[in-house]
Amino acid sequence: MRIVVLDGYTLNPGDLSWDDLRALGACDIYPRTPPHEVVPRAKDAEIVLTNKAVVSREVIEQLPKLRYVGVLATGYNVVDTDAARERGILVVNVPTYGTSSVAQMVFAHLLNLAQHVGHHAQTVAQGRWAASEEWCYWDYPLVELAGLTMGLVGFGRIGQATARLALAFGMRVLACDAVAPSAVPDGVEIVDLDTLLRRSDVISLHCPLTPETRALVNAARLELVKPTAVLINTSRGPLLQEQALADALNSGRLAAAALDVLSTEPPAADNPLLTAKNCFITPHIAWATREARQRLLGAVVENVKAFLDGRPQNVVNR
């Protein structure tokens, strides 16, 4: 059984081991694969693993031995699942591995917005405190989270993990979801989206990208939001209309935004959010703690083992 990993670097830049995967068959692992190299590298493989390298219908048609495409992530839009199904090829993902890490990132951004730790630490390093006439100083209003309202758009695993952190900080929690949760934790109020947008001091997005959620936060919905509110997105970039969000930030219609994802990654240099007022962007790293990546790699290996044992799991294109 020949296994090809098309772009393993992001998952494992060298701090994890591929040994458990290599034990399952002849294994070629490439750090990254440009589009024109996908077919040459995968042409003799029965199993192809990809993170962001696209496995399109055209690619699938040129891989006669292919039986299995494993995605090194939860989202699987890089694979043409219909074309794979027509060939009897399984497409498999890892549905959960980074819940705690992503929820943690929400609060990393939120605490940065509340206390501006990075900014103040930098000014101290530059000598400003040592030269100060006062025994302390701060350049921005410092905000206590207790008593504020967090609105969670999407209340699956990550939304619920974020809710637990918010409650621990003494925040009130609102949530909305397209699917009614089977159980609502104490301290969480389920509301509709417009109510959530109107009432929340912090809005955090935790929903998948679907035709219904694309541009979910648009100019009209931003008009509902308090001008003192902040928006956090650690989910999918296209949930937001980026120009509308930039306009809201630049005009003062929204106090701040903290984003770990954008509609195109890496972003174009002229993406309006890169220069928007009070917009803090990290390069899609909420999922990337070593612990989360280790869980992801372990789940990838278990998916391949299950397939080889004739009991495939986490199949997304049956």
> Which distant-in-sequence residues (6+ apart) come within 8 Å of 214 by Cβ?
238, 239
CB of 43 closer than 8 Å to CB of 63: yes
| Residue 233 CB-half CA count within 13 A | 25
Between CA 91 and CA 53 the distance in angstroms is: 14
| CA 149/CA 44 separation, integer angstroms | 54
Q: How many CB atoms lie within 10 A of CB 285?
A: 13
Q: Which residues are catalytic?
A: 236, 265, 284
Q: Do 24 and 308 contact (CB within 8 A), yes or no? A: yes
**Sign of the dihedral defined by the CA atoms of residues 240, 243, 247, 250, in that order:** positive
Who's near 181: CB < 8 A, 6+ residues apart? Answer: 155, 160, 175, 190
Residue 259, phi then psi, degrees to nearest 5: -130, 135
